């Protein structure tokens, strides 16, 4: 029996979904002082795609044209 997996294991998605689902509660538990300062009624938005772009840009590094 072949035990090799033919797909990529996805360990990040469950964590991300859990963090998004329980973000307020996690903040209140781990960072109660900060959570009290957040205006939760204003809502919030996860910017994971923007963070991925920042990380990708940092990995590439700044490029300079040679003159």
Fill in the DSSP letter of residue 22: T
1 in a domain, yes or no?
Answer: no
Of 44, 51, 18, nearest to 26 by C-alpha is 18
Task: Among 3-7, 19-23, 52-56, name the one with the lowest average pLDDT.
Answer: 3-7
36 in a domain, yes or no?
Answer: yes
5 in a domain, yes or no?
Answer: no
- Could you tell me the CA-to-CA distances from 52 to 1, 11, 55, 58, 59 in Å, in that order? 38, 17, 5, 10, 11
Per the confidence metrics, is the pTM higher than 0.85? Answer: no
Q: Decide if pLDDT at 25 tops 80.
A: yes
| pLDDT > 70: percent of the chain | 64
Give the residue, 21 or 59, on which the prediction is more confident.
21
Q: Please give the residue range of the domain that contains residue 53.
A: 12-60
47 in a domain, yes or no?
Answer: yes
pLDDT at 39: 97
Terminal C-alpha separation, the chain: 60
What is the count of structural domains for the chain?
1
18 in a domain, yes or no?
Answer: yes
Give the residue, 50 or 22, on which the prediction is more confident.
22
pLDDT at 49: 75
41 in a domain, yes or no?
Answer: yes
Of 7, 38, 8, nearest to 25 by C-alpha is 38
67 in a domain, yes or no?
Answer: no
């Amino acid at each position: 029996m072949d035990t090799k997996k033919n797909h990529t294991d996805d360990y990040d998605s469950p964590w991300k979904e859990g963090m998004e689902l329980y973000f307020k509660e996690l903040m209140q538990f781990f960072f109660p002082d900060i959570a009290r300062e957040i205006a939760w009624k204003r809502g919030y938005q996860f910017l994971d795609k923007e963070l991925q772009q920042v990380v990708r840009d940092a990995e590439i590094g700044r490029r300079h044209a040679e003159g």
